[in-house]
Structure 1
Amino acid sequence: MTDTNAIKISITDTIYTIIGILFCGFALKSFLVPNAFFDGGVTGISLLIHEIYHVNIAYVIIIANIPFIIMGGFQVNKTFAVKTFLAIVGVALCLLYIPYPEKITSDKLLVSIFGGVFMGTGIGLAIRGGCALDGIEVLALYTGKRISFTISEIILGINIVIFLIAAVKVGLPTSLYSIITYYTASRTINFVIEGLEEYTGVTIISGQNVLIKEMLVKQLSRGITIYKGERGFLKESFDVSHPVDIVFTVVTRLELRRLRNAVHEIDPKAFIFTSIIKEAAGGVLKRRARH
């Protein structure tokens, strides 16, 4: 990587992180905190402590995240830990000094949805910038190496405990609305990180694979990978099989319908199945890899 590219990437990361910090501060100060709402993860723990003990949320967020930042230095790298610490301090400074509107609405449904949207946008942008505004995934990564649960299952379990405590301390209705906030935030994070160009892996098995390969490369301008396989093995003729090229390609979800239609025009009986790809770069993909 040249010095120029490194500088451009660093500037882009910084811009993403700063915008993410501003969005998170807005979500907390204008939606969640004044309405005693919660989120998942360390942010949810911080909001719960603030609500129960009335400690300034800006200080609680920093203190609550410190153990996970230290853990991130060992689990990811020191650069990630430093950037995450600075980002969380940035959120705290926003809460202390930026004059956000104190309380935009008291409508619980609006708070749960838009608080989640702004919070998810902020966290997602920070992730694109190479840091985190919530240490819960670092904990899940650390725990997942020692027990058999997946990271998603660990995060879900921790959040269930948070919302159960919230239900006991501040009431079930607020806890239920806060679950909507968490769900909205998590979906927004996925959208911000992946965008409309979230990639999908497509596997195609067809006797007309020669025409399908030509169509994918020449008409859709997609790169393809070929696996050698066999087709047949039907119940009434189990011993009969034929060699076949299994075609694999990667498209965005916006292109998936067009690809399906094009394949079925060639072979209406073609077997197609898809799989979600969290990150894709290189080859003939035009989108720049995230860092």
Structure 2
Amino acid sequence: MNAIINKLHIKDTLTDYVYLILGILSINFALKGLLMPNHFFDGGITGLSILLHEKYHFDIDIVIVLLNLPLVALGYKLVGKKFFFKSLIAIVLLGVCLRWLDVPELTHDKLIISAFGGFFIGLGVGFGMRGGCALDGIEVLAVYTGKRVGFTMSEIILGLNLVIFLIASAFFGLEKAFYSMLTYFVASRTIAYVVDGIQEFTGMTIISSKSEEIKRYLVLEMEKGITIYKGERGFMKDSFEVSADVDIIYTVVTRLEVRRLKAALHEIDPKAFVFSQSIKETAGGVLKRKEH
């Protein structure tokens, strides 16, 4: 048993460092191949580093390491020792890549720079998060600040980035700031896809008088696992004392299957009560990942 656990730990560690290296290379590609040659910005600590590089001509590799180090150290307290050491290694390696690994300038098309610069930045940060580290310390700062001021992490990150973009607009004009906002938006959406997975899941709860037909459809036609809760339905305003036992069906589907299931439910029981909720991750059970 211990041998199996050790093998799993080794595999997880190797996977984490593969993600870490891919994230570093992706950020280096975005910065040196797209954003920096064209004086574009991003949000977060990366964006602030580019801003200082453009305004005061500091070396980007030194600035990005120095700005991230205090936040990585803060992560030791907030997240843990493993996170701290991984993030420290990742930030130092990112600085080394920015100093020594050259990337040719790829294009001067502003839309391509903004969109794909954001994509590769988001890909890099997302890979870093999948690997258990921070390649941009703004999330750590947001967690730390949020515990003291009462704002959500998203609100704090948005506020910090607005300050960066306002400074960028003052120094380099509104056009650059607007393109930089687009870069940040693309990066943030890419991070969400990389961290949460492209294949999002939806939990569906179904209450219907035709629960047997719905159960048969879910299990036999869609090959889904289901969980049944026992409940009561009724309790209407004009007949509050009248109720009946009912099976409450819960299942998990991919977002590609939601429309198919809703259409089937409408055919089986147009009066069925259905509500859904987004699920970030699933494990175990009976779950088809793709719709065939």
CA contact (8 A) 1:196 1:253 kept: no
* Aligned residue type for 2:51: L
Out of 67, 70, 73, the position equivalent to 1:70 is 73
Structure 1 residues 232 and 148: CA distance shift in structure 2, 3 A:
farther
Cα distance, 1:236 vs. partner?
4.9
Q: Give secondary structure in 1 for the equivalent of 2:103.
A: coil
1:258 to 231, 237, 260: 260
Q: SS in structure 1 opposite 2:192?
A: helix
Corresponding position of 2:157: 155
Matched, 1:86 2:126: no
Q: What is the aligned residue count?
A: 286
Residue of structure 2 equivalent to 1:119: 121
Q: Structure 1 159/242 Cα, relative in aligned 2: closer, same or farther at 3 Å?
A: farther
- Return the match for 2:168 from 158, 166, 169: 166
Alignment of 1:1-291 (within 5 A): 2-101=5-104, 103-234=105-236, 236-237=238-239, 240-285=242-287
Aligned partners of 1:236 and 1:162: how far apart in 2?
59
Where 1:133 maps in the other structure, the secondary structure is: coil
Instruction: For 2:84, give the aligned amino acid.
Output: A
Which amino acid is the alignment partner of residue 168 of structure 1?
A
User: What TM-score comes out, normalization by structure 2 length?
Assistant: 0.90
Moved more, 1-10 or 278-287: 278-287
TM-superposition CA deviations, 1:122-155 (whole Å, max 9, x none): 1111211111211111111122222332111111
Question: What amino acid maps onto 1:63 in structure 2?
Answer: L
Deviation sequence 1:72-118 (CA, Å, 0-9, x none)? 111111111111111111211111111211x2112211111010011
Opposite residue 141 of structure 1, the aligned amino acid is V
Letter in 2 for 1:28: L
- Give the share of equivalent positions with the same residue, in percent: 57
Residue 51 of structure 1 aligns with an amino acid whose one-letter code is E
Greater Cα shift, 195-204 or 218-227: 218-227
Between the aligned partners of 1:141 and 1:281, the Cα distance in structure 2 is: 27
CA distance in 2 between counterparts of 1:286 and 1:11 reads: 28
Kept in 2: contact 1:196–1:254 (CA 8 A): no
Q: Secondary structure at the match of 2:217?
A: helix
Q: 1:63 & 1:118 partners in 2: Cα distance?
A: 22
* One-letter amino acid matched to 1:127: M
Q: Aligned equivalents of 1:137 and 1:167: distance in 2? A: 23
Give, in angstroms, the shift of residue 49 of structure 1. Answer: 1.2
Inter-partner Cα distance in structure 2 for 1:251 and 1:39: 35
Cα deviation, residue 162, structure 1? 1.2
- Decide whether the 8 Å contact of 2:128 with 2:135 is kept in 1: yes
TM-score by length of 1: 0.91
CA distance in 2, matches of 1:93, 1:18: 12
